[in-house]
Every structure is written in structure tokens, then in C-alpha cells.
């Protein structure tokens, strides 16, 4: 078995898991910011209740991506940290403010005004973080990030910023908002459910537009992704399946099959991330850093895989328990599920 | 400010901030579990109340710990990309394993904090125990990484590149046990004294309050045990670095000249220019005794090592003295409390003791910060001892002043807010306690 590929695939899967869980938590924050209408308060309360017990566990997926990257592909981690210094730092500020403000809002006994202030910080940083995350992922494949002979970032510290990375930033934001709204339709009741159903459909349209824009821009700005999107043997089937998931999710939302919609939305997000990973293969940082050029020695990779396997053995039952405790009630209540 | 200095300030600041919440994350779950067990054994309502109230505080502290820890895991690459490129394949393992400990911690903390009414009492208690174990495990793994930086192992250096990498050997370098032990005990000591101080303060204002009495009776034994073990474990650490990092030992003792019957210097200000430590009280043969348990042992001084390998002895010695002074003070306070407890056969609540405990509230955390400064400053000028210089590990990205100022503002803000939120919680607690006393028999 190819060890490098296995570790790289594990990192990609952890990223998928983060998008599906932590990404949706960020999406919840976006709906907090966009809460509107007569049920504004209820919308916010539902978001808070939905992510309160689980967001810290979901967040660990991102840390796992980082540790797998720096153990398995250390020079890639160094190159990414150097060339993407600015968006990573902004992402960190977003992550810190999001988590802290969310918790302060829940626990600060300082009254309504204080609560509103924390809510604003929480929701604004929930927009900032996915914008940066998406831009970072887009920039990785843009081919604009290169290191000089002394390991310095060529093209300055803003080389990551382009129309393409802006579009991928928006794509991630829309996708997370879509995921969150779809998940929330499963947890909401009555009028509140209608609110999130409408929001899910709107966010689905936004996701589609952002994806189309990013795909179009990739023709000019990220040839590798464009090739992955169009020219490889697996491109067409992958698109077909992703598109089917997306259309299916819409259909399920329209026909009120919310549990199915949740499944299809998650499948769509998974396929988007996997599709990005596949079109970027074998590069970690286009065009200079590949899985092979950055891989740690085989012994490290093998041990890392072993550790990840052992970890998964403890993690999966624990996660199952967590979601069973906090998400079970919701599942029973869906008439179409 | 130079580029390197900005990076060091930013990283040191982030860690100094994170370590407070990390230590709390290690120790508070244990305290909550003890309170929970106490409630099940005695049925005291105050013990249940305690577990609930502590849980609310921990929810806030844990969130700040999680986000500040995330900052560090990214900053390892943002600030020290060459260190990570070198060290990643060697010591990435403990960090990855730590990731699973974080998962366990976050998952079971979620169940423990939010699931009291949703899961069985057995599962609830088991979750608490798992959080306590996972917290200790994350401290264990990350300290292994630090122990490796102090005593690199598990690879061969070939033309500046690491070869023959053995991540398992790297996980357990000489001294790992001593360091892990010391770090773990320090987390319990620092947290338990901080908690004891808060409840002692309230007990002085509302003598006999059952809530604060129960709290103090729960936390004080942990604080005392940890504080009494800490100097023993510190002695083990010192004897270990006498062998593995003699230049660090010389710096932290302000010891310049290699000699037999080396004296122990208490206080004083190491002066690199003159090679002396004026102002110190010298205990004859004390250092030889402590470092090698032999009054005639030879202890190597700084002058035995090339000048460019010295850490700054002034900073390291002062930080060390602060840690040892605070540690000795806490141990003495614990002994006193223990004697009082034994003589009374019940929780000692003499005003003088409560006052001393109140004053001692920050001492554990100050000692913990000072101890990390000893380790980190004492390793300079290397980031990986003897192998990679800090100056060679720093990022080539310029303009670090911007994130430095940004994060400084962010940390000050978070610290102030966390303190305010906790103060409001505690104030509410005591108000609730007072009204409860109004109608309770
Ligand atoms: C509550 C906190 C606390 C207290 C009371 C003490 N320490 Fe400590 N000490 C730490 C908290 C700490 C620490 C923060 O946990 C450090 C930093 C890195 C480490 O391994 O532990 C540390 C490091 C540290 C080191 C350096 C180890 C290394 O670099 O590998 C030595 C030699 C000692 N300690 C010795 C002592 C002695 C002799 C104490 C006597 C009272 C003492 N410590 C009390
Ligand atoms: C296991 C945990 C830790 C790891 C892996 C670690 C790692 C590092 C690294 C890579 C550096 C930068 C290079 C250097 O200056 O040597 C550093 C510096 C530093 N660390 Fe740590 N560290 C750890 C714990 C801590 C803690 C808990 C503190 C809290 C006080 C701390 C305080 C500092 C400071 C102040 C510096 C700057 C050193 C200087 O300016 O001289 N470290 N550490
Ligand atoms: C000896 C020093 C350290 C100790 C004892 C320690 C311990 C802990 C503990 C117990 C937690 C979870 C509890 C809490 O959040 O309050 C935690 C969180 C965290 N730490 Fe540290 N840590 C140390 C240094 C570091 C370093 C050097 C890194 C960087 C790699 C790091 C990264 C993290 C991360 C990412 C989290 C968040 C985990 C989550 O989301 O739950 N820590 N740390």
C-alpha cells in the first residue's frame, strides 16, 4: 500500500469531517448573523442549542488535519504556513473570537445588551472563518504560492489573494451555511422549520452560484483544478454524482424529506471536498510541493497511520455516543424519515 | 524589536496564556469528579451544587483553552516553519495522539456539562472520569514533545538533516518521566490552590457557609498533596537536567565556576560580565548535594561551556528562584494546614489560615509560569537543544509586529472578559448561597 497516499487521504477525510461538522457549526453562526423576521430570537436560540454541546468536539477535526499534516508532510506544513501566513492568522483570530464569544454569550450573566454584543462577535467571526478557510483551500491549488531559495514567500504575503480564492472563500461560506440550514430543518419545529427550509434553499442556490463562479475562474486562475474538473477520466462521473446529490437535496427540501435532505447535503459537501482533493492530487501546494516530495520517512508514516487507526477505534464510539445523546430526539420527530 | 524577538514574544505569550487554561483543563475535571463522588457518598446537597457550579465555570475556561490551543498548533508552523519541517516527522506523533485526547476530552466534557439530565448517572460520572483522564493524557503527550526539545532523541543528524528517524524512541527521551510528572503535579497544584483561595475568601466573609466549606474540604486535600509532592518531583527534574542539560542547571543556579562542594545560591543576580552571582545567600555544598546527592560531587559551571551556548543566567535564575520560593511556600502552607486539620479532626477554618489560602490563590499559577520560563529560557539559544538554533527556526515572513500586537490585544481582552464572566458567576453563587441559608435550618 502507498503510505503517502494513505496518510494524505486520511488528512483529506479529516478535512471532510471538519467541513461536515465544524463547518456546519460555523454555518450556524452565519444564520445567527442573518437571523431575521418575527422569529429572530427563536432562530438564534435553536442555533445555540444545536451547536452548544458539540462544537468543541467538532473543532478538533481541524486540529487533527494540522497535526497529520505536520507529522506526515512537514515541509508542506512549513510551506503552507509561510505562504498563507496572512489568511491563516486572520482565520485564527476568527476561530478564537467565534469560540470565545459563543461561550461568553451562553454564560455571561451580564444582561441582554451584553448578550447581544457577544452574539454579534460570534456571528461575525463565524463568517470570517469560512471565508478564510475557503480562500486558503483555493489558494493551495492556484499555483501562485511559491517559496524562494531561503524558504521565503515569493510574491509577497498577499500572493494568496485572487478572484479565484475569493470565489472559493465564498463557496465555503455558502456551503457551510447551506449545511447548517439543512441540518437545522431536522431539529426545528413548526414555523421555525419553515424559516430554515427557506434559508436552506437560498443557501443552496448561493452555493451553486459560488461553485459555478469558482469553476469558471479556475479555467484562468487554477488550471490544475480546471483540468480536474473537466479533463480527467473521473471528472464527469464525479460531477454527475455531486450534481445529483445537490439536485436531490433540493428536491428533498422542497418535498419536506428533511432527513434525506440532510444526508444528501452532507454527501454533496463531501463530494465537493473530495473533488477538490482529487483534482489537486498529487500536489499539496501547487506546483512545488507534492505528497511524495514532502512525505516524512515511511516509518513515521506507518506509525502515524497506526496511531490514527487506534485513535479512530476510541473516537468513533465516543462520537457516536455524543451525537446519540444530543441529536437523537431530533431524528425521531421527522415524519418522512 | 527584532524579527526573532517578535516571534518569541508572540509564541511565548500564546503559550503563557494557553497554559493557564490547559492546567485548569487538566485539574478541574478531577475536582468535579471528586465533588460528584462526595455527593454520592454523603448526599450533601452542597457537594452536588458544587459539581454543577464548577461545571459552569469549566465550560467557559475550557472554551478559552480550546481556542488558545488552536492558535498554538497553527503558530508552530506560522512562527517556526523550519522547526516543524525538522521536528514534525520525529515528534509529530505525540501531537497527533494528543489530538485524540482532545477529542475524548471535548466529547465527554460535552456529555458531562450538558448531559446531566439526558444520560444515566453512571454514564455521567464515567464521562467526568474520562475527561479527567483525557486531560491528563493531553498534558502527557504535549510534555513529551517538550521533553524531546530539551533532550532530542530518536534520529541521527546527517549534514543538518535528520535521518534514521525513530518516532517511538523520540517520544520517550531521557527525562520524559520526570518532566511529565512535574507538569502534571503542577497543574493540580496551581488549579487547586486557585480554587481553594476563592472559596477560602468567601468562607471568611460568610463563616460556616456549607457550600464554601464543602468546596474547601474537597479541594484542599488535592492542593496539599500536590504541593507536598511538587518539591520532590522538582528535585527529580533538577537532578535529571544536571545530567542531560548541565549548562541549563548552571544557569538556573547562577553557577559560573566548575567546582566540588558547590554551594546552593538562594537569591542573587547572576552577572555575566563578572561571572559571579552577587547578592546570593550561599549554602555550602548545597548544590552538589541537591544535584548529585553527594556533597563532594563536582558541578559544572557556565564557564565550562562555550559562551554562545549559554542561556541568559539572570532570567533563568530569577524565574527558577520564583518557582522554588513559591513552591516551598505552598508546601509549607500545606504542611500547616495538614497539622491543623489533624489536630482538629475537621476542616481547619481559622481566619489566619483562610487569609493565607486567599493570598496563596495565584501562587501556583505564578510558579507554573515561572517554571515554564525556566525550561524555555534555559533551553536557549536552541529550540531543539544542541541541534537547532531558535534563530535558524524562525519564519522568513516579515511584519510579525502586526500579529504580535493583535494577539496581545486579543489575550488581554479574553483574560479580562473571562475574569469578569467568572466573577459574575461566583457573585451569583454567593448570592444564591446566602438566600439558601435564609430558609435552610
Ligand atoms: C505549581 C507549579 C510549580 C511549582 C510549585 C514548582 N514547579 Fe518546577 N516547574 C513547573 C511548575 C512548578 C512547570 C511549569 O511545570 C515546569 C516547567 C516545565 C516543566 O517540565 O515543568 C517546571 C520546571 C522545573 C525545572 C526545569 C525542568 C526542565 O527544564 O526540564 C526544575 C529543575 C524544577 N521545575 C524544579 C522545581 C523545584 C526544585 C521546585 C521546588 C519547590 C519546583 N520546581 C516547584
Ligand atoms: C509542551 C509545550 C511547549 C512546547 C512544545 C513549546 C515550544 C516552544 C517553541 C518551539 C518555542 C520557540 C523557540 C524558542 O524560543 O525556543 C518556545 C519558546 C517559548 N516558550 Fe515554549 N513550549 C511549550 C511550553 C511552554 C509554556 C507552557 C510556556 C509558558 C510560559 C512557554 C513559554 C515560552 C516562551 C516564553 C518562549 C520564548 C522563549 C524566549 O523568548 O526566550 N512554553 N517554546
Ligand atoms: C505543556 C503545555 C501544555 C499542556 C499541559 C496542554 C494541555 C492542554 C489541555 C489539557 C487542553 C484541553 C483542556 C482545555 O482546553 O482547557 C489543551 C487544549 C489544547 N491545546 Fe494544549 N497544552 C499545552 C501546550 C500546547 C501546545 C504546545 C499546543 C500546540 C500544539 C497545544 C495545543 C492545544 C490545542 C489545539 C487545544 C484545543 C483542543 C480542543 O479543541 O479541545 N497545547 N491543552
- Cβ-based contacts of B76 with chain A (< 8 Å): 70
The answer to whether the Cβ–Cβ distance between A315 and B104 falls below 8 Å is: yes
Q: Which of B71, B81, B103 sits opposite A318 (nearest CB)?
A: B103
Q: How far is the CA of A115 from the centre of ligand 3 (A)?
A: 28
Mutate which of B55, B56, B106 to disrupt the A interface (most A C-beta within 10 Å)?
Answer: B106
* Architecture of the domain delimited by A3-327: Up-down Bundle (1.20)
Report the C-alpha gap between B329 and B264 in whole angstroms. Answer: 18
The predicted structure's pLDDT at residue A169: 96
- Residues touching ligand 2 (Cβ under 6 Å) are B 8, 11-12, 15-16, 19, 80, 83, 142-143, 145-146, 369, 372-373, 376-377, 379-380, 383, 390
Q: How far is the CA of B370 from the centre of ligand 1 (A)?
A: 8
Report the C-alpha gap between B194 and B184 in whole angstroms. Answer: 16
Binned at pLDDT 50, 70 and 90, residue B430 comes out as low
Q: Which of A67, A108, A296 sits opposite B89 (nearest CB)?
A: A296
- Cβ-based contacts of B6 with chain A (< 8 Å): none
The predicted structure's pLDDT at residue A229: 75
Q: What average pLDDT does the segment B312-338 reach? A: 95
Q: Are B374 and B320 in contact (CB under 8 A)?
A: yes
Report the C-alpha gap between A6 and A23 in whole angstroms. Answer: 24
Task: Say if residue B194's pLDDT is above 90.
Answer: yes
The answer to whether the Cβ–Cβ distance between B70 and A88 falls below 8 Å is: no
Place of cell 488550471: A223
Pick the residue from chain B with its C-alpha nearest to A11. Answer: B96
Q: How far is the CA of B284 from the centre of ligand 3 (A)?
A: 41
Pick the residue from chain B with its C-alpha nearest to A68. Answer: B96
pTM exceeding the 0.80 threshold for the entire prediction: yes
Domain-wise residue ranges, chain A: 3-327
Q: Is the peptide bond before A287 cis (omega within 30 degrees of 0)?
A: yes
The answer to whether the Cβ–Cβ distance between B84 and A77 falls below 8 Å is: yes
Pick the residue from chain B with its C-alpha nearest to A87. Answer: B78
Mutate which of A13, A49, A56, A289 to disrupt the B interface (most B C-beta within 10 Å)?
Answer: A56
Please spell the DSSP secondary structure of B321-345, one letter per residue.
HHHHHHHHHHHHHHHHHHHHHHHHT
Distance from CA of B355 to the nearest CA of A (A): 28
Task: Say if residue B159's pLDDT is above 80.
Answer: no
Q: DSSP letter at A145?
A: -
Residue A44: its H or E element = helix A40-51
Which of B318, B242, B236, B224 is CA-nearest to residue B280?
B318
The answer to whether the Cβ–Cβ distance between A74 and B107 falls below 8 Å is: no
The answer to whether the Cβ–Cβ distance between A70 and B168 falls below 8 Å is: no
Please report how many Cα atoms fall inside a 13 Å half-sphere around the Cα of residue B79, on the Cβ side.
27
Q: How far is the CA of B379 from the centre of ligand 3 (A)?
A: 21
Task: Say if residue B217's pLDDT is above 90.
Answer: yes
CB contacts < 8 Å between A and B, how many? 216
Pocket probe mutation, ligand 3, options B19, B30, B69, B143, max atoms within 8 Å of Cβ: B69
Task: Say if residue B435's pLDDT is above 80.
Answer: no
Q: Find the range with the poorest average confidence among A101-110, A313-322, B94-103, B299-308.
A: A101-110
The predicted structure's pLDDT at residue B76: 93
Place of cell 459537501: A269
Tell me the pLDDT of chain B averaged across its residues: 90
The predicted structure's pLDDT at residue A105: 87
Domain-wise residue ranges, chain B: 3-435
Q: Over chain A (337 residues), what is each successive 10-residue block's mean pLDDT?
A: 88 95 92 87 89 88 94 93 94 93 84 85 94 94 83 83 92 95 89 90 93 87 78 80 90 90 93 88 86 89 92 90 77 40
Place of cell 527584532: B2
Residue B37 — φ and ψ, nearest 5°?
-65, -40
- Closest residue to atom 28 of ligand 1, CA basis: B375
Amino acid at each position: 500500500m502507498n503510505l503517502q497516499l494513505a496518510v494524505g487521504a486520511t488528512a483529506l477525510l479529516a478535512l471532510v469531517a471538519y467541513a461536515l461538522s465544524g463547518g456546519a457549526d460555523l454555518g450556524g453562526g452565519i444564520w445567527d448573523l442573518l437571523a431575521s423576521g418575527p422569529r429572530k430570537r427563536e432562530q438564534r436560540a435553536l442555533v445555540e442549542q444545536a451547536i452548544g454541546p458539540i462544537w468543541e468536539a467538532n473543532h478538533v477535526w481541524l486540529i487533527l488535519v494540522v497535526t497529520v499534516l505536520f507529522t506526515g508532510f512537514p515541509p508542506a506544513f512549513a510551506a503552507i504556513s509561510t505562504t498563507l501566513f496572512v489568511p491563516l492568522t486572520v482565520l485564527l483570530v476568527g476561530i478564537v473570537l467565534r469560540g470565545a464569544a459563543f461561550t461568553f454569550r451562553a454564560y455571561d450573566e451580564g444582561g441582554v445588551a451584553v448578550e447581544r454584543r457577544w452574539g454579534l462577535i460570534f456571528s461575525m467571526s463565524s463568517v470570517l472563518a469560512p471565508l478564510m478557510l475557503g480562500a486558503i483551500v483555493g489558494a493551495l491549488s492556484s499555483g501562485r504560492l511559491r517559496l524562494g531559495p531561503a524558504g521565503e514567500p515569493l510574491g509577497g504575503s498577499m500572493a494568496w489573494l485572487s478572484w479565484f480564492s475569493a470565489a472559493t472563500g465564498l463557496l465555503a461560506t455558502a456551503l457551510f451555511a447551506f449545511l447548517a440550514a439543512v441540518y437545522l430543518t431536522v431539529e426545528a419545529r413548526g414555523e421555525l422549520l419553515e424559516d430554515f427550509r427557506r434559508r436552506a434553499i437560498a443557501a443552496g442556490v448561493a452555493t451553486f452560484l459560488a461553485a459555478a463562479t469558482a469553476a469558471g475562474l479556475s479555467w484562468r486562475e487554477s488550471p490544475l483544478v480546471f483540468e480536474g474538473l473537466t479533463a480527467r477520466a473521473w471528472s464527469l462521473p464525479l460531477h454527475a454524482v455531486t450534481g445529483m446529490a445537490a439536485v436531490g437535496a433540493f428536491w428533498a427540501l422542497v418535498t419536506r424529506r428533511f432527513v434525506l435532505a440532510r444526508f444528501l447535503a452532507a454527501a454533496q459537501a463531501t463530494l465537493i471536498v473530495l473533488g477538490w482533493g482529487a483534482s489537486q492530487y498529487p500536489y499539496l501546494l501547487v506546483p512545488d510541493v507534492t505528497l511524495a516530495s514532502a512525505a516524512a520517512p515511511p516509518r513515521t508514516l506507518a506509525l502515524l497511520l497506526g496511531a490514527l487507526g487506534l485513535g479512530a477505534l476510541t473516537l468513533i464510539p465516543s462520537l457516536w455516543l455524543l451525537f446519540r445523546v444530543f441529536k437523537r430526539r431530533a431524528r425521531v420527530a421527522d415524519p418522512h424519515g | 524589536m527584532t524579527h526573532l524577538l517578535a516571534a518569541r514574544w508572540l509564541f511565548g505569550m500564546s503559550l503563557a496564556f494557553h497554559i493557564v487554561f490547559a492546567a485548569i483543563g487538566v485539574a478541574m475535571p478531577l475536582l468535579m469528579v471528586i465533588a460528584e463522588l462526595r455527593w454520592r457518598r454523603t448526599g450533601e446537597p452542597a457537594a452536588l451544587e458544587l459539581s454543577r457550579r464548577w461545571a459552569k465555570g469549566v465550560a467557559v475556561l475550557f472554551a478559552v483553552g480550546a481556542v488558545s490551543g488552536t492558535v498554538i498548533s497553527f503558530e508552530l508552523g506560522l512562527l517556526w516553519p523550519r522547526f516543524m519541517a525538522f521536528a514534525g516527522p520525529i515528534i509529530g506523533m505525540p501531537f497527533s495522539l494528543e489530538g485524540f485526547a482532545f477529542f475524548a476530552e471535548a466529547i465527554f466534557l460535552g456529555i458531562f456539562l450538558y448531559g446531566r439530565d439526558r444520560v444515566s448517572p453512571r454514564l455521567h460520572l464515567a464521562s467526568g472520569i474520562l475527561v479527567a483522564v483525557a486531560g491528563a493524557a493531553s498534558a502527557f503527550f504535549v510534555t513529551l514533545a517538550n521533553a524531546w526539545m530539551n533532550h532530542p532523541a530518536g534520529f541521527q543528524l546527517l549534514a543538518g538533516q535528520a535521518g534514521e528517524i525513530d518516532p517511538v524512541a523520540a517520544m520517550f527521551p531521557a527525562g520524559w518521566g520526570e518532566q511529565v510528572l512535574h507538569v502534571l503535579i503542577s497543574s493540580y497544584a496551581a488549579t487547586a490552590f486557585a480554587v481553594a483561595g476563592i472559596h477560602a475568601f468567601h468562607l471568611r466573609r460568610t463563616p460556616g457557609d456549607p457550600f464554601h466549606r464543602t468546596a474547601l474540604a474537597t479541594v484542599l486535600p488535592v492542593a496539599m498533596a500536590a504541593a507536598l509532592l511538587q518539591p520532590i518531583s522538582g528535585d527529580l527534574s533538577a537532578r535529571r537536567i544536571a545530567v542531560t542539560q548541565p549548562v541549563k542547571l548552571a544557569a538556573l543556579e547562577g553557577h559560573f565556576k566548575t567546582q566540588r562542594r558547590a554551594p546552593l545560591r538562594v537569591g542573587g543576580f547572576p552577572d555575566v560580565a563578572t561571572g559571579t552571582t552577587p547578592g546570593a545567600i550561599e549554602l555550602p555544598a548545597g548544590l552538589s548535594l541537591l544535584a548529585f546527592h553527594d556533597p563532594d560531587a563536582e558541578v559544572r559551571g557556565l564557564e565550562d561551556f562555550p559562551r554562545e551556548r549559554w542561556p541568559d543566567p539572570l532570567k533563568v535564575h530569577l524565574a527558577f528562584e520564583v518557582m522554588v520560593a513559591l513552591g516551598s511556600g505552598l508546601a509549607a502552607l500545606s504542611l500547616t494546614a495538614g497539622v491543623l486539620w489533624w489536630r482538629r479532626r475537621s476542616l481547619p477554618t481559622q481566619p489566619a489560615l483562610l487569609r493565607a489560602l486567599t493570598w496563596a490563590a495565584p501562587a501556583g499559577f505564578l510558579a507554573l509560569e515561572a517554571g515554564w520560563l525556566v525550561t524555555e529560557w534555559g533551553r536557549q539559544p536552541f529550540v531543539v537543544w544542541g541541534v537547532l538554533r531558535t534563530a535558524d527556526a524562525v519564519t522568513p515572513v516579515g511584519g510579525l509586529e502586526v500579529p504580535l500586537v493583535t494577539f496581545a490585544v486579543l489575550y488581554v481582552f479574553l483574560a479580562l472578559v473571562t475574569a469578569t464572566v467568572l466573577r459574575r458567576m461566583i457573585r451569583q453563587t454567593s448570592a444564591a448561597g446566602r438566600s439558601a441559608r435564609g430558609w435552610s435550618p
